[in-house]
C-alpha cells in the first residue's frame, strides 16, 4: 500500500473506480465458501490467463507500474510521498532510452530491471518461452537492478539487525520474525501488503503446482511446506497475514489489478479485489456450534451377548434354540420335537458354527435367564436335545 494523506473524496473515488471495476459475477463461484474450498474456487476463476513474453514486461510496466507523474514505481527504491521519511532518493524513467537495463551494475541508483518477487529459482526456472509463472505480471515488478541483486532469491522477512540497507530503507539480514533465522529481505512497510497479496495470488493461481516447488530451492523450501494448502510454512504464513492486515489495499494496487485484467492477462488478483478472502482462506475458524441442550435419558445396556462353543460328537447339531425368561429358569419351557420355534424377543435360532447370539430391546436393571437346546432337522422333522444337562446361565442389563 502507498500511504498518502487522503481525503474523504479520494476514499469515495477509490470505492467507485477501484472495486467498481470488478466484472459483474466474476467471483460468484466463490460465494459462501471458506478455507481450502474458497482457494480452489478462486483458482478455477483466475487460471488460464493470457500469457505474454518476458520482454513484453518492458511495455506493460509503462501502464501497470507508472507513478502519477509517469515515472517508474519501483518497490525497492521508492519512498511514497507524504511519509515521514520524505520523497524517494531517486526516480527512474521508462524505456531503453531511460533507465531500463538488462545487466546489473555494482551500485544502486543506476537502472531498473524485472524483479520476480516470487523468485524464478523457487519454481525451478522453468521454460521462459512457455511457462506462465515466469512471465505472470502479478508477481513481476520493476525494481532497482542492484537492490534486486542484493535481494537475490532470499525470502521476504523482517530484519532487526541488517547487514545491508538500501537507500529507501529496505533491509537485508538475519530474520527476526519468530520461526526462521536465515537471511531475508525486508521491503518498506508501505509495500508489505502488496507483496503479501502477491504471494497469496501465487499460491492460488498455481494451486495445482505449488506443492511440487518446495524442493526446487532451499530458500523456497524455507517458506513453502510442500502442500497445495496452506502452501506456506507457519512462520511465513503468519507474517504474510500480518502484512496483509497492516498494509491495506491501495489505489496503486487496484489500478494495477484493473490494468493487468483489462489490457493484458484477463485475470485478477482476488486478494486485491477482496482482501477479506485472505482470512477467509488462511485464518478461517468455523464458528463453534452450540452444545446439546440435555444429556440422553436411560444410559444403560438394553442388550445381552451370549457365546458358546459348538457341540461335538458323532451327531452334530444343525443349530441351537436359545430361550429366555425374565422370571426364572423354571419359567422356560422345553421345546417339543416336531414343533419349530419362531424367532422372537425371547427365542433365537442360531445355526451351527455361529456360536453367538444377541438379545436386544431388553429392560435395564433386569436379570434374564437363558437355556440352550441343540437340534437337528427343521420344521416337522426338528429334533431337540432336552435330556441330560441343559446349558443355562443368567445375565443382567445395567441399571
What CA–CA distance (Å, rounded) separates 83 from 76? Answer: 16
In three-state secondary structure terms, 252 is: helix
- Quote the percentage of the chain above a pLDDT of 90: 80
User: Residue 252 contacts by C-beta under 8 Å, 6 or more apart in sequence?
Assistant: 1, 2, 73, 194
Backbone angles phi, psi at 140, to 5 degrees: -105, 130
pLDDT confidence of residue 18: 39
| pLDDT mean over 37-59 | 96
Whether residue 182 contacts residue 87, with contact meaning beta carbons closer than 8 Å, is answered with no
pLDDT tens profile 56-78:
999 999 999 999 999 999 999 89
The model's pTM is 0.69
Say yes or no to pLDDT of 317 above 50. Answer: yes
Contact 206, 133 (CB under 8 A): yes
Grid coordinates belonging to 365: 436393571
- Rounded average pLDDT over 34-56: 96
Give the angle subtended at the CA of 305 by the CAs of 300 and 306, to the nearest 5°: 150
pLDDT tier at 2, thresholds 50, 70, 90: very low
CATH of domain 304-396: 2.60.40
pLDDT at 80: 78
The domain limits of the chain are 8-282, 304-396
Q: Which residues of 226-248 are buried (b: 16+ CB within 10 A; e: fewer)?
A: eebbbbbbebbbbbbbebbeebe
Amino acid at each position: 500500500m502507498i500511504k498518502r494523506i487522503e481525503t474523504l473524496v479520494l476514499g469515495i473515488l477509490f470505492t467507485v473506480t477501484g472495486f467498481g471495476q470488478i466484472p459483474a459475477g466474476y467471483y460468484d463461484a466463490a460465494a459462501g465458501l471458506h478455507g481450502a474450498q474458497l482457494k480452489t474456487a478462486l483458482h478455477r476463476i483466475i487460471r488460464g490467463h493470457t500469457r505474454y513474453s518476458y520482454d513484453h514486461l518492458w511495455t506493460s510496466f509503462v501502464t501497470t507500474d507508472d507513478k502519477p507523474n509517469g515515472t517508474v514505481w519501483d518497490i525497492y527504491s521508492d519512498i511514497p510521498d507524504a511519509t515521514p521519511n520524505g520523497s524517494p532518493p531517486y526516480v527512474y524513467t521508462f524505456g531503453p532510452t531511460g533507465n531500463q537495463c538488462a545487466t546489473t551494475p555494482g551500485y544502486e541508483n543506476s537502472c531498473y530491471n524485472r524483479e520476480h518477487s516470487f523468485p524464478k529459482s523457487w519454481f525451478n526456472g522453468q521454460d521462459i518461452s512457455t511457462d506462465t509463472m515466469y512471465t505472470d505480471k502479478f508477481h513481476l515488478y520493476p525494481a532497482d537492478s542492484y537492490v534486486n541483486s542484493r535481494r537475490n532469491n532470499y525470502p521476504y522477512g523482517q530484519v532487526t539487525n541488517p547487514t545491508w540497507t538500501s537507500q529507501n530503507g529496505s533491509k537485508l539480514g538475519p530474520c527476526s520474525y519468530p520461526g526462521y533465522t536465515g537471511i531475508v529481505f525486508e521491503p518498506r512497510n508501505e509495500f508489505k501488503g502488496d507483496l503479501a497479496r502477491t504471494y497469496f495470488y501465487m499460491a492460488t493461481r498455481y494451486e495445482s503446482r505449488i506443492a511440487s516447488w518446495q524442493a526446487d530451492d532451499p530458500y523456497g523450501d524455507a517458506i513453502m511446506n510442500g502442500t497445495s494448502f496452506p502452501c506456506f510454512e507457519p512462520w511465513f504464513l503468519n507474517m504474510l497475514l500480518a502484512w496483509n492486515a497492516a498494509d491495506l489495499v491501495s489505489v496503486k494496487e487496484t489500478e494495477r489489478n484493473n490494468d493487468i485484467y483489462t489490457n493484458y492477462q484477463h485475470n485478477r488478483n482476488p486478494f486485491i479485489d477482496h482482501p477479506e478472502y485472505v482470512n477467509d482462506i488462511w485464518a478461517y475458524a468455523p464458528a463453534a456450534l452450540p452444545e446439546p441442550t440435555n444429556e440422553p435419558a436411560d444410559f444403560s445396556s438394553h442388550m445381552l451377548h451370549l457365546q458358546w462353543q459348538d457341540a461335538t460328537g458323532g451327531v452334530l447339531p444343525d443349530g441351537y434354540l436359545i430361550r429366555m425368561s425374565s422370571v426364572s429358569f423354571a419359567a422356560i419351557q422345553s421345546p417339543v420335537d416336531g414343533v419349530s420355534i419362531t424367532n422372537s424377543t425371547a427365542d433365537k435360532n442360531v445355526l451351527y458354527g455361529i456360536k453367538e447370539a444377541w438379545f436386544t430391546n431388553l429392560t435395564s436393571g433386569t436379570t434374564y435367564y437363558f437355556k440352550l437346546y441343540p437340534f437337528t432337522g427343521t420344521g416337522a422333522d426338528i429334533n431337540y436335545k432336552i435330556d441330560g444337562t441343559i446349558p443355562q446361565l443368567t445375565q443382567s442389563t445395567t441399571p
